Amino acid sequence: MKERVFRWLSRFPLHLVLIGAALVWLTPSVGLLVSSVRPYEAVIRTGWWTVLAHPFDFSQYTLQNYREILLTQGMAQAFRNSLLITIPSTIIPIGIAAFAAYAFAWMEFPGRQVIFAIVVGLLVVPLQMTLIPLLRAYNRLGLAGSYVGIWLAHTGYGLPFAVYLLRNFFGALPRDLFESAYLDGASELTAFFRLALPLSVPALASLAIFQFLWVWNDLLVALIYLGGTEEVAPLTLKLSSLINSLGQNWHLLTAAAFISMALPLVVFFSLQRYFVRGILAGSVKG
Amino acid sequence: MLRKGYWIGLSAILIVGLLLTACAPKTVTVTVEVPVERTVEVPVERTVEVTVPAPKGAITVLGVWGGDERVAFQDAVAPFSEQTGIGVAFEGTRDLAAVLTTRVEAGNPPDIAILPNPGQLYELAEAGHLVPLDSFLDVNQIAADYGQSWVDLASYDGHLYGIFYKVAIKSLVWYNPKAFEAAGYEVPTTWDELIALSDQIVADGGTPWCIGLESGPASGWPGTDWIEDIMLRTAGPEVYDQWVRHEIPWTDPAVKTAWETFGQIVRNDDYVWGGTTGALSTNFGDSPAPMFDDPPGCYMHRQASFITGFFPEGLVAGEDYDFFPLPPIDPQWGTPALIAGDVVVMLNDTPEVRQFVEYLAGPEPQEIWAGLGGFISANKNVSLDAYPDDLTRKMAQAITTAEVARFDGSDLMPAAVGAGSFWSGVLDYVGGTDLDTVLEEIEATAVDAYGQ
């Protein structure tokens, strides 16, 4: 009993710091959430923290902002467009990056380090630099305004980081594992599919989340390569077009942020268990 | 077991991906010309499938409008599509400059662009990307519809390149008539009366002005409007033009006087709701709200006609809010109007686009939009009856009949000044920096920016 109390006390400062950090981290999001359920008249007059004075007075909350956004014409279409852009733009780069990363990590071929250095070097190229030349090429190829075009664009922008992350992960897998597989007669392809990939689920999952979020939240790339017409515009474009040219109706964006956050949250929590699982648990049996 | 499951999962994902690749883009990609030899080989069913849904042939319009503006614009052009069968596809983004530049450089500009100020019009016209409108529009008709100053503003090198569309008048002071009546205040007609009224309000324990300068990355612009408005009233339109073209330096006494006059109001903590801190940290759109509180947080708010879009809902134009023109300071310059507006330009020359520009310039679509609210036309032949209320009518009349009208100067200056050091200079000045220092800093950037 005494010991427990002592342990609790000795950990108390640590917990306090952690809780404090979490609170600070969450404050902006909480503020956004509170603002999204307050009426415009209140938002422009007082800060969101004023609701804390009497948080259970429910008459000060309203779902009007959410209603207004969800009932906007074409919202379902925009949601569908977003999925249509995001899912392939997540799968394609991860697929390519996995193959590339395996080759960089475990296959011997001339110029391997140089090519890898170039790929990693591409990380620092700002994507804005590529907009004009790439769009010009797309116009030639007839890819401007097509989904294929934007999938390829997102694939290109996502690949350097994906290859870098996966190569490091693959490279950290125990060499013995691959050697014993080769000794047993496994080909490179078998080693990739049966060893490297299953062991890298945590890395693949975190990469999938990164890429998914980046594409889902993207506004610029879609605006440039796809255009902002109703038929193709993703959710981000649709939401930004709710705002008038001088920013009238900005209060709708508070609710819009939570609406567009919904799906990424689902993706995150459904992939989250892969992080927790022990990375190499049970891979090498005696 | 687990590995097998993973295998199946991966292949399922890949298959889904391939399916999506295969079926999704059909409608969009294929409309681009197929080489002639190939079209011969393509089976008949396919070519049919390809041509069906493509909304190509539709006129593409890129603009800054969003929300109800976007809806209203679509309503305004609906009769055109009905009559001609030509579709209009509108794309809106508030980051117009970046997107338009990219599209133009990459070789697929939109047919029509709606620019938020004429600065970019001059740049595009100089680079040869714009179609001169006087090559096909009836110049006499344009002269009859639009005031000369609007035509001049949209012209470059002797050619007309744009039509001013959704315009705004900035020299307005908004007030709450009910609050004025309750306190027994009169609408001032001269600058001295305005200052006397401000002092009176302070003496009565109130706050005369609501000022909000925050506007994200564009913070400071509401202050530039103040200074421009004052400059027109203290130095007159000629000096104003010289200042905008940087023919007089920022350290010129005329410029300094305008800043000081603004400073008398904004740097006086008794005059401004929340003091200088309030002015610096309040968003321009939120800032007029205290005017409608009971008791009023402030009594007056100088802002452009579009500010009504930010007012709390449920207020009645003319009853809950009204405006008076910013009063004259030096009687010889009278009450000039500071104006701004979005301008329609044409980037692709096709018969359909010409037809569309002709339609847009005429009164019909502008009357439709005027009826929906939030719109003021620069076209003199747009009937005043089209506006939804007397207040908007009054503003529209002020714009089309103003004797002296000048465009928002910061929109005409090079971006490094007009959308850079002028904005930040206002914030520094309001924050307490010495005026000479501020003006010297702006002058330094102006020398660079205009020198090119």
A119-A121-A124-A125 Cα dihedral, nearest 10 degrees: -70
Residues A87 and A209 in one domain: yes
The SS3 of residue B103 is: helix
* Contact status of A115 with chain B (Cβ, < 8 Å): no
Last residue of some domain: A62, A84, A110?
A62
User: Mean pLDDT in chain A?
Assistant: 88
Q: Which helix (H) or strand (E) holds B162?
A: strand B162-169
How does residue B57 score in pLDDT terms, banded at 50, 70 and 90?
low
| Tokens coding B24 | 């999704």
Contact between B345 and B115 under an 8 Å Cβ cutoff? The reply is yes
Whole-angstrom distance, CA of residue B297 vs CA of residue B208: 8
Tell me how far apart the terminal alpha carbons of chain B are, to the nearest angstrom: 70
- Residue A235 touches chain B, beta carbons under 8 Å: no
Per the prediction, chain B carries an average pLDDT of: 86
Which tokens belong to B429?
């000045």
- Answer whether B24 sits within 8 Å of A84, measured CB to CB: yes
Residues A45, A111: contact at Cβ < 8 Å? no
A279, A201 contact by CB (below 8 A): no
Contact yes or no for A246 and B306 at CB 8 A: yes
Q: Percent of chain B, pLDDT > 70?
A: 87
Contact B94 A243 (CB under 8 A): yes
Q: A123 with A165, same domain? A: yes
- Closest CB to B66 among A220, A224, A244: A244
Shortest CB distance from B70 goes to which of A40, A139, A241?
A: A241
> Nearest CA of chain B to the CA of A143: how many Å?
6
Both A32 and A115 in a single domain? no
Choosing from A62, A86, A102, the residue where a domain stops is A62
pLDDT in tens, B396-442: 988 888 888 899 999 999 888 998 999 999 999 999 999 999 999 99
- The ipTM of this complex is 0.80
Query: From residue B352, how far is each of A36, A180, B84, B103, B359 by CA, in Å?
Result: 44, 70, 9, 20, 11
CB contact under 8 A, A243 and B66: yes
pLDDT at site A1: 66
Is residue B207 within 8 A of residue B273, CB to CB? The reply is yes
More confident residue, B26 or A163: A163
Beta-strand pair B159-160/B155-156 = antiparallel
Measure the CA–CA gap between B440 and A250, rounded to whole angstroms: 36
Inter-chain touch B69–A244, beta carbons under 8 Å: yes
CB contact under 8 A, A95 and B92: no
Class of domain B59-168+340-396 (CATH, top level): alpha beta
At residue A283, the pLDDT reads 53
Same domain, A120 and A51: no
Mean pLDDT comparison of A191-195, A258-262, B23-27, B233-237, highest-scoring range: B233-237
Q: Per mean pLDDT, which of A94-98, A277-281, B309-313, B372-376 is the most reliable?
A: A94-98
Q: pLDDT band for position B255 (50/70/90)? A: very high
Residue B16 has what pLDDT? Answer: 45
Residue of chain A nearest B16, judged by CA positions: A88
Alpha carbon distance A116, B183 (integer Å):
75
Is A286 among the domain residues?
no
Question: Is residue B265's pLDDT more than 90?
Answer: yes
CB B116 within 8 A of CB B340: no
Cα-Cα end-to-end distance for chain A: 41
Residue type, A214: W
* Most confidently modeled range among A42-56, B46-60, B321-335: B321-335
Across the interface, do A244 and B28 touch by the CB < 8 Å criterion?
A: no
Does residue A13 lie within any of the structural domains? yes
Predicted pLDDT of residue B361: 93
With a CB cutoff of 8 Å and minimum separation 6, the contacts of B295 are B179, B206
| Number of inter-chain CB pairs under 8 A, A vs B | 135
With bands split at pLDDT 50, 70 and 90, how would you rate the model's confidence at B18?
Answer: very low
The residue ranking higher by pLDDT, B53 or B370, is B370
| Cα–Cα distance, B452 to B444 (Å, whole number) | 14
pLDDT confidence bin for A275, thresholds 50/70/90: low
- Residue B330 to chain A, least CA–CA distance (Å): 32
Rounded Cα–Cα distance for residues A239 and A233 (Å): 10
Minimum mean pLDDT among B45-49, B75-79, B305-309, B444-448: which range? B45-49
**Domain interval for residue A215:** 69-276
pLDDT surpasses 70 at A195:
yes
pLDDT confidence of residue B108:
87
**Mean per-residue pLDDT, A37-58:** 86
Q: Nearest CA of chain A to the CA of B332: how many Å?
A: 34
Measure CB to CB from residue A91 to each of B17, B89, B306 and give the nearest one.
B17
User: Which of B11, B16, B20, B88 is the best substitution to test chain A (most A C-beta atoms within 10 A)?
Assistant: B20
Query: What are B196-212's pLDDT values in tens digits?
Result: 999 999 999 999 999 99
Structural domain includes residue A192: yes
* Average pLDDT of span A231-257: 87
Predicted pLDDT of residue B445: 95
Is A88 in contact with B21 (Cβ distance < 8 A)?
A: yes
Minimal Cβ distance to B93: which of A151, A223, A242: A223
Helices A252-276 and A2-36 cross at an angle (nearest 10°) of 140
Tell me whether residue A80 is in a domain. yes
Q: Which residue is closest to B88 within chain A, CA to CA? A: A229
Residue A53 shares a structural domain with residue A93: no
Q: Could you tell me the residue ranges of all domains in chain B?
A: 59-168+340-396, 172-335+413-451
A244/B67 touch (CB, cutoff 8 Å), yes or no: yes
Q: Is A132 on the interface with B (CB under 8 A)?
A: yes
Could you tell me the pLDDT band of residue A6, with boundaries at 50, 70 and 90? confident
Select from A121, A144, A124 the least CA-distant residue to A229.
A144
Interface probe for B, chosen from A82, A245, A277 (most Cβ of B below 10 Å), is A245
Q: Is the CB of B102 less than 8 angstroms away from the CB of A198? A: no
pLDDT at B438: 96
pLDDT at res. A276: 56
- Stretch B15-42: mean pLDDT, rounded? 39
Determine, yes or no, domain membership for A283. Answer: no
Do A246 and B91 count as a contact with CB atoms less than 8 A apart?
Answer: no
**Residue given tokens 């078998």 in the structure block:** A190
A136 vs B2, B25, B106: nearest CB: B106
B413: left (phi over 0), alpha (psi -120 to 50) or beta: beta
Residues of A within 8 A of B21 (CB-CB) are: 88, 148, 151
Look at A95 and B14 and tell me if their CB atoms are within 8 Å: yes
Tell whether A75 lies on the interface with B, counting CB pairs under 8 A. no
Of B14, B92, B342, Cβ closest to residue A228: B92
User: Hey, what are A265's tokens?
Assistant: 């949250």
CA-nearest of A85, A74, A73, A76 to A222 is A85
Residue with tokens 């319009």: B61
Q: Nearest CA to CA, how far is B254 from chain A (Å)?
A: 30
Residue A139 lies in a domain: yes
Interface contact A197-B6, CB threshold 8 A: yes
Residues 165-184 of A with CB under 8 A from B: none
Q: Are residues A139 and A237 in the same domain?
A: yes
**Is the Cβ–Cβ distance between B258 and B427 less than 8 Å?**
no
**HEC string for chain A:** CHHHHHHHHHHHHHHHHHHHHHHHHHHHHHHHHHHHCCCHHHHCCCCHHHHHHCCCCHHHCCCHHHHHHHCCCCHHHHHHHHHHHHHHHHHHHHHHHHHHHHHHHHCCCCCHHHHHHHHHHHHHCCHHHHHHHHHHHHHHHCCCCCHHHHHHHHHHHHHHHHHHHHHHHHHCCCHHHHHHHHHCCCCHHHHHHHHHHHHCHHHHHHHHHHHHHHHHHCCHHHHHHCCCCCCCCCHHHHHHCCCCCCCCCCCHHHHHHHHHHHHHHHHHHHHHHHHHCCCCCCCCCC
Q: Domain B172-335+413-451 class? A: alpha beta
Q: Note whether B250 and B422 are within 8 A (CB).
A: no
Q: Determine the distance in angstroms separating the CA of A194 from the nearest CA of chain B, rounded to an integer.
A: 7
Tell whether A10 and A144 lie within a shared domain: no
Range with the lowest mean pLDDT among A53-67, A123-137, B129-143?
A53-67
User: What local confidence, expressed as pLDDT, does residue B42 receive?
Assistant: 38
Stretch B235-244: mean pLDDT: 94
- Total number of domains in chain A: 2
If you average pLDDT over residues A202-221, what whole number do you get?
90
Task: Return the pLDDT at A119.
Answer: 93
Chain-centre distance for alpha carbon B96: 12
**pLDDT > 90? residue B299:** yes
Residue holding tokens 């110029």? A111
**B374 neighbourhood in chain A, CB within 8 Å:** 244
pLDDT band at B37 (very low <50, low <70, confident <90, very high): very low
Q: What percent of chain A has pLDDT over 70?
A: 95
| pLDDT of res. B1 | 40
* Residues in a beta bridge with B92: B63
Domain check: are A102 and A164 in the same one? yes
Residue B146 has pLDDT above 60, yes or no: yes
Q: Are residues A126 and A224 in the same domain?
A: yes
Nearest-CA distance from A15 to chain B in Å?
Answer: 36
Q: How far apart are CA B137 and CA A89, in angstroms?
A: 46
**Per-residue pLDDT averaged across A217-243, rounded?**
88
Helices A201-217 and A252-276 sit at what angle, rounded to 10 degrees? 170
pLDDT at A243 over 90: no
Evaluate if residue B245 carries a pLDDT over 70: yes
In a mutational test of the A interface, the residue from B2, B27, B28, B59 whose CB has the highest number of chain A CBs within 10 Å is: B28
Alpha carbon of A100: minimum distance to chain B alpha carbons (Å):
17
- Tell me whether residue A211 is in a domain: yes
**Which of A44, A62, A80 lies at the terminal end of a domain, its last residue?**
A62
Q: Where is average pLDDT lowest: B22-31, B51-60, B270-279, B412-421?
A: B22-31
- Chain A CB contacts of B306 under 8 Å are 246, 248
Asked whether residue A114 is domain-assigned, the answer is yes
B220: CB partners within 8 A, 6+ apart:
B213, B422, B423, B424, B425, B426, B427
Residue A42 token pair: 């209140």
Hey, is the C-beta of A10 within 8 angstroms of any chain B C-beta? no
CATH number at residue A212: 1.10.3720.10
Nearest CA in chain A to B312: A41
